[in-house]
Amino acid sequence: MHDLLIYLLATIVVVPLSKFAGLGSVIGYLLSGVLIGPQGLKLLTQQQGTSEIAEFGVIMMLLLIGLELNPKLLWKMRGPIFGLGMMQMLGTIGLFTGGLLLFSGVGFPAAVTIGMIVSVSSTAIALQTLQEQGYAKSAGGERSFAVLLFQDMAVIPMLAVLPFLGGDIGNGAHGAQSPLMKALLVFGAVIAVMGAGRFLIRPAFKLISRTKLREAFTAMALFIVLGAAALMHAVGLSPALGAFLAGVVLADSEFRHQIEADIEPFKGLLLGLFFITIGSGIRFDLIAQRPLEVAQWILLIILGKAALVFAIGRIAKLRAPESLLFAISLAQGGEFAFVLIGRTGGLLSPETAQILTAAIAISMALAPLLIKLTIRKGMSRLECVTTQQRAPDTVDESDRDNPVLVVGIGRFGQTLVRFLRANGYRTTVLDIDSEQIDIIARFGIKSYFGDGSNLDLLRAAGLDRAKVLVLAIDEAETAIRIVETVRPQYPNLPIFTRAYDRIHAYKLLHLGVNDVAIETSGSALYLGGEILKSLGLKPERVEAKAKLFYVNNQRSIRDLAKRFHEEDETSFIQASKQLAEQLDTLLRSDPEELSKGASSEWPRVQNENPLA
């Protein structure tokens, strides 16, 4: 208990000071460990108990990585992730393994181990610094994100490879079993985790979500993580592998974003304890005895990785400034390097492990400075999106009772809000574009700056009291993410949303929204009617055709939305063709049949369709 209190006190005092100094939270945790450890104030009595608690941070981090491995994201970014990521990972391992074998005389297992340790980079430091500088959406920033994601995934196979090299990740209760029996146990444990996720965990989450008790939901998430970790440890594998598998199982579920939000605070604190443990274990007496060796490793890590990644960037046809940003963003060591060092067993001598730990920690401390310096000096030609940091606005108390909560105030949202206001319905509007908010405020539309994908922010804006939620944003994935987050918590709340195209509409309807408006369909239909008039068709016949097309199109979207998720691709395409052929037949019928098929559901249009 004494050590835990010291850890928490160091976190409260040192970490904020580190962030204010621009060093970042990871470096703050490491400095906290140095301050309270045996090389500093010697406030810790023993580290074993707290180290076990700190291991939970690594487990939480691997769970969140598993949750991020959504198949759709991996497929969308498959080229940069698996192409550039594999080139960087294998290239770094090969570079350092070959160099160590040629010039240091270490054995092959130790050389490969060191290559794996230095191949990973700091996801937290690199992404945070790029976002702060406004370069996360640049070409170099996006490539950095893809490679960092691959590195996070590659940690699992690297942990699995260490025992074959002679490392020790814990034998668990079955260490004495035969290789065949141990393989069967491992295979059975993986199948058990995957099967439980499909047939037990998801139904349990659905049941708990109906109670609307967030603490029960959080407890369930923690139980799953620790249960999977304990199962993997029992069969002789790393507990982190169990957490990773649990995350992968839940990555494609509707509860993924809520789990991420609930576990994030625990992950941050426990991971901080892990880094404090690393910092408290750094032997400065050894570093003082061999300062040149430590400096040599720092230069090798930064310059070696930067040169390799720069070459990869040029091979990928990035311009020189973009390749430079790509290289410097990945030039430091990473959080998982400490995890790998802790699992090396007898592969590395204690002195080598300590020197590597110090060199990686110092390279991480230098990373924000190097990235900022690169952007300031070498990126003058690079065009990228710069975002202004702004805290969410506070919603007025009177606006929290408005019946309609709208997310997004672009061209679509503006028309919608004006229409609702003209009919006497007040709206509360959230948008993440601060410039757009300032512009539309001049025209009398009041809105607030805030991220509509944040459930807590939606609640602060009046979601609990709203009668309708409208998503008028133009980002398809963000709209899906908001519906996935809100619908389980508010199953009876009407949700209406803008859709990018028919596929997006199918997905939204499957998630339970009440209705969708495909963003260009209304204006395209109006313009098509005007074209028909110019080609000689009578206005009344054009109106009848437009009515019939609109009604049947809306019906077909709902019908095909069910088939999109329940049937195979061939059956879906056949059904889509049949509906299109039926509509073609109706539209070519005589005027009397057209008037019978036309419906009063068609919105009366003057110069502009309100669905546009």
**CATH class of the 397-597 domain in this structure:** alpha beta
Q: What is the pLDDT of residue 55?
A: 64
Burial class of residue 374 in the structure, from the number of CB atoms within 10 Å of its CB (0-12 exposed, 13-18 middle, 19+ buried): buried
Q: Is the dihedral of CA 210, 212, 215, 218 positive or negative?
A: positive
Tell me the per-residue pLDDT of 48-71, one tens digit each, with 9 for 90 and over.
444 555 566 667 767 766 776 666
pLDDT, tens only, 360-382: 888 887 888 888 888 876 654 44
Q: Looking at residue 179, what is its pLDDT?
A: 52
pLDDT of residue 609: 36
Average pLDDT, integer, range 600-604: 43
Q: Which of 143-147, 203-207, 519-523 shows the highest mean pLDDT?
A: 143-147
pLDDT (0 to 100) of residue 24: 62
pTM: 0.55
Give the pLDDT band of residue 384 (cuts 50, 70, 90): very low
pLDDT, residue 98, reads 93
Q: pLDDT over 70 for what percent of the chain?
A: 75
The average pLDDT across 129-153 equals 79
475 close to 481: Cβ distance less than 8 angstroms: no
Q: Per-residue pLDDT tens for 395-439? A: 777 777 889 999 988 888 888 888 888 888 889 999 887 777 877
Burial of 290 (0-12, 13-18, 19+ CB in 10 A): middle
Q: Which of 166-175, 217-226, 256-265, 316-325 has the highest mean pLDDT?
A: 316-325
SS3 track for 162-184:
HHHHCCCCCCHHHCCCCHHHHHH
Torsion angle (degrees, nearest 10) of CA 383, 385, 390, 391:
-140
Q: Which helix or strand (DSSP H or E) is residue 12 part of?
A: helix 2-20
Higher pLDDT, 409 or 281: 409
506 or 98: whose pLDDT is higher?
Answer: 98
Residue 404 confidence (pLDDT): 92
CATH for the stretch 2-378 = 1.20.1530.20
- The domain segmentation of the chain, as residue ranges, is 2-378, 397-597
Mean pLDDT computed over 209-219: 74
Q: Per-residue pLDDT for 520 more than 50?
A: yes
DSSP-derived 3-state class of residue 239: helix
- Pairing of β 495-499 and β 427-431: unpaired
